[in-house]
Amino acid sequence: MSLILTEEQEMLQDAANGFLAENAPVAAFREVRDSKNPDGFCRDLWKEMANMGWAGIIVEEEFGGSEFGYVGAGVLAEQMGRNLTASPFFSTSVLGATAVQRYGTAKQKEQHLGSICDGSTLFALAVDEGPRHRPEHIEFAATPHGNGYKLSGAKTFVADGHVADKLIIAARTSGDANDPSGITLFLVDANAAEIERTHTPMIDSRSAANIKVDGLEVTGDDILGEVDGGYEALEGILSAGRAVLGAEMSGSSQQAFSITTDYLKEREQFGQKIGSFQGLQHRAAHLATEIEMTKSAVLKSLQLLDDDFESASATCSMAKAKSGMTAQLSTQEAIQMHGGIGVTDEYDVGLYFKRVHVAQQMFGDAGFHADRLAKRSGY
Amino acid sequence: MSDLEQFRAETRAWLAENCPEEMRDGDITAENQCWGGRQWEFQSDAQKRWFEAALAKGYTVPTWPKEYGGAGLSADEAKILTEERDRINARKPLSNFGISMLGPALLAFGTHEQKLMHLGAIARGEIRWCQGYSEPGAGSDLASLKTKCEDKGDHWLINGQKIWTSNADISDWIFCLVRTDFDAPKHKGITFILMDMASEGISVKPIILISGHSPFCETFFDDVKVPKAYGDDNLSVVGEVNRGWDVAKNLLVHERGMLGTMSPLRGATGPENLGGYAAGEIGVDATGRLDDPSLRQKIAQAEIDDWAYNLTVERLNDEANAGNGLGAKSSMLKYAASELTKKGSQLRMDIGGTDAATIGPDGIEYGSLANTWLYNRAYSILGGTTEVQLNIISKRVLELPSA
Ligand SMILES: Cc1cc2nc3c(=O)[nH]c(=O)nc-3n(C[C@H](O)[C@H](O)[C@H](O)COP(=O)(O)OP(=O)(O)OC[C@H]3O[C@@H](n4cnc5c(N)ncnc54)[C@H](O)[C@@H]3O)c2cc1C
Ligand SMILES: Cc1cc2nc3c(=O)[nH]c(=O)nc-3n(C[C@H](O)[C@H](O)[C@H](O)COP(=O)(O)OP(=O)(O)OC[C@H]3O[C@@H](n4cnc5c(N)ncnc54)[C@H](O)[C@@H]3O)c2cc1C
């Protein structure tokens, strides 16, 4: 298969580009931020995105989705990364939809996929329990209770967890805290009385929540996938999340870089355009090269998710690592090459810098994935 | 089955039948490749059989037109051939500057006669070419070259010196940049000319590199007479007189494209992955992690870079085949590949520790880690330095202003 977008995917890209530039540019993101919108995104905008088929971008047509696959999701995420568009797309349409579509029972699919596609139900994935991503380390307890389980424990950094209607929680049903087998996924109602949610606004002005669960009773119907076999499903959901976050960071890198090269072409110091200084040119050229490498890594991981989902895990890790490194470099350089104006709130490049930092931390930074890759390769 | 699927099946079967086992170790080094040329001797029976089978099929130069010795494959078919070859780790049946550099330039700028004479000979591995671009005073600033070429009616008279001419001592012909007009602006007085290395007045002298070995030469031209045409109307000059810079630039894009397609971490000293090599040399701790955490992170990062790089070669080629030519982006590949190649062999030296830093009775052993590491320093210099690639990316890809 060719490592380029198909005509259909290109059309989706153009449409997304046009729509977001008009309806959800950085200015709209600033408005959400400055108005202290408690949701962290604009609900009307989300409704419109759902109407265009974006909320159900990976969902099969029979459930009301537009079935564009992960490449399609990545195409959208990349444009959202360019525009810093805030929406529940990632938590609901990527994580939630992947979880239900790939690992849900027929009944769960019937119940949830339609409401993901029409944008009416928001999902969030609760996995991490500390400040660093460690998906195999799960203490959150699911203890047998009657015919089902009782859930108790705490989760941190649940993206969009404060607004979610449904939570997917990774809990321990057996084994010790670091045992990947013994993890089970539960799909629960986020508004249950036993769940306490604390909104934790992040430095990138996106929203997450810490959640505490105290004795929530669940039944077999609430289990997503296999009992004790949840890690595999979690891996699949995280892989999809990593690749799509990679696409988002790739978009942010590209946009921060393009703002910067425009600036290099127009700002004058010492009687010439600063873009004519070789000290800046070489760094820009290096960055441009890294951005090309990132695009390939991201596209390959998305294509693999569509072609052979089970085998995509390592590739998604690599895409997340590569895009994270590049995004960090791109946004750091964007600030530096702008000089003083780059560290002002008024100027957009700082927003990209903050966003990619949070996106890096989500589901593992470059170091996490390098470690994972090394372990997998036997060293 | 689509035509391409059919082609893949046929190619797979053809390779299975025609590529000898010994040619499938994937360990492609300068030493074990088949270079061709008048002085060439096959290193093994298997190498000869593989070459002959490929030649009969047009697969020494698969994308060239059939009349010039190729198989006339489309870009999609060529990609399949490469994939199928890689799948069984097969070496290329023939590789040299004629295939990767001169051939594409002749296809773009040559006359029909020039193509007939030279391309066929390249495809058949009969003539080995070397590249006469650089001069002592013209490296990065290539267009400042001074080798003088005078019009003497029926022939050209050439005087001057080239440097860094890879393998000039074992090459049959040279493609060369010479100055035909000293008064014109520097890019406008250069001509691209083809010469037989056996011509009277050409001499070569090897240059020993820090690795202790030398595929490189200084090449001297002392009243060399080059006929205006070989045979009837097969001109020695490619393109127009004084317009050789156009040909030179086109060729450099191919050179960089070629240099940009090496597989940097693997190519260094063998097919095994860096991490596996490190685990073997250094050992792992109780959790299976390499017993050197900082080296482990560096290796993993390099493997991620290498992987993204290889995909980028694939993606940019797919884009080029879909209609957006590779153009100046070949400089990105050249830049990334040469830096990564250096990084890879540096890591191998670090992994090997003092074992890798030993010297044998005959000096640094050819093909050893140290030898490769030293040789690889040249990757970010040859074919245009890293700094020059970055200049090109800044100007051509990013369109940043010039000073
Ligand atoms: C937090 C903060 C506090 C400050 N406090 C003060 C203060 O109290 N008083 C005061 O007077 N000023 C102050 N400044 C201003 C500060 O000194 C300038 O921001 C600084 O000199 C850079 O100038 P500039 O922002 O115009 O960037 P520019 O000069 O426009 O530079 C833009 C980019 O081009 C690069 N560049 C410029 N020229 C060259 C060159 N020749 N070669 C290579 N690269 C080049 C720069 O390194 C930078 O990356 C402050 C700035 C900040 C951010
Ligand atoms: C192993 C090897 C094989 C080679 N094979 C061949 C061959 O077969 N045929 C052939 O013709 N040539 C060959 N070359 C020559 C090669 O192309 C030149 O060495 C190369 O172009 C650099 O030129 P130079 O060595 O004169 O360095 P210089 O041009 O003197 O450069 C010195 C340093 O200055 C930097 N520099 C120069 N100009 C700029 C600029 N504008 N901006 C920023 N930095 C700059 C360079 O990057 C470099 O770091 C080979 C070289 C090597 C090492």
Nearest protein CA to atom 2 of ligand 1, as residue:
A340
| Residue A333 · residue A356 · CB < 8 Å | no
Q: What is the pLDDT of residue A261?
A: 98
Distance CA A372, CA A281 (A): 35
pLDDT in tens, A1-58: 789 999 999 999 999 999 999 999 999 999 999 999 999 999 999 999 999 999 999 9
Residue whose structure tokens are 């895990």: A313
Residue A270 CB–ligand 1 contact under 6 Å: yes
Q: Which of B142, B146, B202 is nearest to B174 (CA)?
A: B202
- Residues of chain B in contact with residue A371, where contact means CB-CB under 8 angstroms, are 297, 300
Task: Tell me if residue B206 falls in helix, strand or coil.
Answer: strand
B255 catalytic, yes or no?
A: yes
> Please, is A334 exposed, middle or buried when counting C-beta atoms within 10 Å of its C-beta (0-12, 13-18, 19+)?
buried
Nearest to A296 by CA among A3, A72, A1, A2: A3
pLDDT at A317: 97
A336 lines ligand 1 (CB under 6 A): yes
B7 to chain A, minimum CA–CA distance in Å?
15
Contacts of B351 (CB under 8 A, 6+ apart): B274, B277, B278, B281, B282, B295, B299
Residue with tokens 């991503």: A133
Q: Distance between CA B75 and CA B86 in Å, rounded? A: 16
Are A366 and B401 an interchain contact pair (Cβ–Cβ within 8 Å)?
no
Q: How far is B389 from chain A (nearest CA, A)?
A: 9
Interatomic CA distance for residues B210 and B371, integer angstroms:
9
What DSSP character marks residue A344? S
Paired sense of beta strands B173-179 and B129-132, if any = parallel
Question: From the CA of A276, which ligand is nearest?
Answer: 1
A199, β-bridge pairs? A209
Pocket test for ligand 2, best of B249, B385, B386, B402 (most atoms within 8 A of CB): B385
Ligand 2 atom closest to Cα of residue B378: 53
**Beta partners for residue A214, in sequence order:** A152
Q: Do A297 and B307 touch (CB under 8 A)?
A: yes
CA dihedral B169, B171, B175, B177 (to 10 degrees): 0
Which among A4, A366, A367 has the least Cβ separation from residue B319?
A4
Burial category of B362 from C-beta neighbours within 10 Å (exposed 0-12, middle 13-18, buried 19 and up): exposed
Q: What is the pLDDT of residue B233?
A: 78
Mean pLDDT, chain A, rounded, equals: 97
Partner residue facing A3 (CB), from B301, B315, B394 = B315
Which pLDDT score, from 0 to 100, does residue B76 have?
Answer: 87
Query: Which residues does chain B have within 8 Å of residue A378's beta carbon, measured at their own beta carbons?
Result: 275-276, 279, 284, 288
Cα B197 to ligand 2 centroid, rounded to whole Å = 23
**Interface contact B217, partner A, CB < 8 A:** no
Ligand 1 pocket residue status of A267, Cβ below 6 Å: yes
The per-residue pLDDT for range A113-159, each reduced to its tens digit, is: 999 999 999 999 999 999 999 999 999 999 999 999 999 999 999 99
Mutation target vs A (from B303, B324, B390, B399; most A CBs, 10 A cutoff): B390
**What's B101's DSSP letter?**
I
Decide: B29 in ligand 2 pocket, CB within 6 A.
no
Active-site entry in B255, B339, B365, B387? B255
Q: Determine contact, residues A216/A171, Cβ cutoff 8 Å.
A: no
pLDDT value, residue B213: 77
User: CA A104 to CA A70: how far, in whole Å?
Assistant: 18
Question: Which neighbouring-strand residues pair with A189?
Answer: A166
* pLDDT tens, residue by residue, A75-110: 999 999 999 999 999 999 999 999 999 999 999 999
Question: In this structure, which residue's CA is closest to atom 43 in ligand 2?
Answer: B387
Among the listed residues B55, B139, B140, the one whose alpha carbon sits nearest the alpha carbon of residue B92: B55
Please report which ligand is nearest the Cα atom of A275. Answer: 1
Beta carbons within 8 Å of B112's beta carbon, 6+ residues apart: none
Q: Tokens for B142?
A: 């290539």
Task: Work out the average pLDDT over A299-311.
Answer: 97
Q: Is any atom of ligand 2 closer than 6 Å to the C-beta of B382? A: yes
| B237 DSSP β-pair partners | B193
Give pLDDT, residue B29.
Answer: 65
Cβ neighbours, 10 Å, residue B5: 10
Q: Are the CB atoms for B268 and B372 separated by under 8 Å?
A: yes
Condensed to tens digits (0 to 9), the pLDDT of residues A223-257 reads 999 999 999 999 999 999 999 999 999 999 999 99
Q: What CA–CA distance (Å, rounded) separates B75 from B83?
A: 12
| pLDDT for residue A285 | 98
CB contact under 8 A, B300 and A370: yes
Give the whole-angstrom CA distance, residue B337 versus residue A59.
Answer: 39
User: What's the mean pLDDT in A328-334?
Assistant: 98
Contact yes or no for A288 and B315 at CB 8 A: no
The string of DSSP codes covering B348-399 is HHHHHHHHHT--BTTBSPTTSHHHHHHHHGGGGTTTS-HHHHHHHIIIIIS-
Decide if B246 contacts B275 (C-beta within 8 A).
no
B315/A284 CB distance under 8 A: no
Residue in B311, B335, B351 to test binding to A, most A beta-carbons within 10 Å: B311
The C-alpha atoms of residue B99 and residue B116 are separated, in whole angstroms, by: 14
Cross-chain Cβ contact B389/A371 below 8 Å: no
Predicted pLDDT at B269: 43
Q: How far is the CA of B176 from the centre of ligand 2 (A)?
A: 16
Structure confidence at residue B266 (pLDDT): 62
pLDDT in tens, A344-378: 999 999 999 999 999 999 999 999 999 999 999 89
User: Is B311 within 8 Å of A292 when comparing Cβ atoms?
Assistant: no
Residue type, A41: F
- pLDDT, residue B273, reads 80
Take atom 35 of ligand 2 and give the residue whose Cα is closest. B387
Residue B382 CA to ligand 2 centre (angstroms): 6
Q: Is A131 in the pocket of ligand 1 (CB under 6 A)?
A: no
Please give the Cα distance from A138 to A153 (Å, whole number). 10
Contact B127, B174 (CB under 8 A): no
φ, ψ for residue A169 (rounded to 5)?
-115, 130
The values of phi and psi at residue A333, to 5°, are -65, -35
Q: What is the distance in angstroms between the CA of the first residue and the CA of the last residue of chain B?
A: 56
Q: Taking the CB of residue B285, how many other CB atoms lie within 10 A of it?
A: 11
Give the residue from A78, A11, A88, A99 showing the smallest Cα distance to A49. Answer: A88
Strands A195-201 and A148-159: unpaired
- Give the span between the Cα atoms of A40 and A206, in whole angstroms: 6
Q: Which helix (H) or strand (E) is A214 found in, with range?
A: strand A207-218
pLDDT along chain B (403 residues), means of 10: 91 96 76 87 94 96 95 91 88 91 94 94 96 95 96 96 94 97 95 97 93 87 96 89 94 79 58 82 94 95 93 90 81 93 92 92 86 90 94 96 90
Question: What is the number of other CB atoms lying within 10 angstroms of the CB of residue A33?
Answer: 17
ipTM above 0.90 for this complex: yes
The SS3 of residue A145 is: strand
This prediction has a pTM of 0.94
